[in-house]
Structure 1
């Protein structure tokens, strides 16, 4: 019967298996440790550890856990995939009338913020009669075009390279001024709900 604690057999070594071995060796060398030094810390023999690193011994869970602990890392980090999908975000455009959004952060991102690129056209110019209010703060920088920001009783023109930050408890609207505009914006949770999930409520012409 196959050992239920075995993660990857030597005879079917995969890319992930090779990556785990490489990480063990890399972390050991980064700490300036010999095989003997790491073996003493994880209660394995140096020969066993050597065979694990070189692929001449199958990796078992009951060995991998103390190795990870001795190296100051976690089992999850040691075995996580090297696939670039955990690093690279490939946003897909979401279109509504007068607006296209590219989400540049993952759901549940750090600190609960959402980063997005937005392209707004004059078709979405709902400024004066449709000012939104919600808890939190909002920040954006203009990549191209000119933004007309309605903020309470004020109207501000934000040019490329400039940024705006304001309390979203003040009635506000972000409008394209004299042509399409592209912005990079950061929303908190309230801002994301207000701006990215209410497109169906936008006033129609």
Structure 2
């Protein structure tokens, strides 16, 4: 927020000492919660805008590769959405595991590229690019790639995130 104010001017507007503001600005002092509100008010902004990250590191989503499970995951939602849902893009290279899992909730997925083998109980379903599937996760299930890598977009509840994205489950 460029205001063309001197440090002294901003300090007087938010009732802090210039040395305190200088130490906060240079990272030599942690900002206290009771200091944020007067600084935001002086700058004519909100607390959210004042503490919003500004570097690219905070907006870039890095993949998590799990070679042992044949999956790469991008968590597209940094925090759980309404109802605790998480959105993830998954690239899967492994075949569908034979070990089927159950957990409370529902999963929804759409295939972006390739074909996904979805095992639901006794059924084996091929879900191709452009198609979607939604199912109760109380039905024993697993998914994997069919004839080459596949990429899918998933919406998972909290139980689905723990089951599908954890390191020790399929």
CA distance 1:150–1:193, shift in 2 (3 Å):
same
Report whether the alignment pairs 1:68 with 2:41. yes
Query: What is aligned with 2:118?
Result: 149
Query: Cα deviation per residue 1:112-147 (whole Å; 9 max; x = unaligned)?
Result: 3332222222x4432xx4211001111111121111
CA distance 1:132–1:147, shift in 2 (3 Å):
same
| Greater C-alpha radius of gyration | 1
Q: Which has the higher contact order (CA 8 A, sep 6+)?
A: 2
Query: What is aligned with 1:177?
Result: 146
Q: Alignment partner of 2:114: what SS?
A: strand
Query: What is aligned with 1:136?
Result: 105
RMSD between superposed Cα atoms in Å: 2.9
Superposition TM-score, scaled by structure 1 size: 0.58
Query: What is aligned with 1:110?
Result: 81
Superposition TM-score, scaled by structure 2 size: 0.69
Is there any run of 5+ residues in structure 2 with no aligned partner, and where?
Answer: 17-36
Is there any run of 5+ residues in structure 1 with no aligned partner, and where?
Answer: 1-18, 23-52
Range with bigger deviation, 141-150 or 76-85: 76-85
Query: What is aligned with 1:82?
Result: 54
Residues 65 and 75, structure 1, Cα contact 8 Å, conserved in 2: no
Range with bigger deviation, 190-199 or 58-67: 58-67
Q: CA deviation at 1:194?
A: 0.8
Distance 2:49 2:86 in 1: 25
More helix by share: 1
Matches within 5 A, 1:18-37: 19=1, 22=2
Query: Cα deviation per residue 1:56-75 (whole Å; 9 max; x = unaligned)?
Result: 4531334873873995x533
Q: Alignment partner of 1:55: what SS?
A: coil
Q: Alignment partner of 1:58: what SS?
A: helix
Aligned length: 146
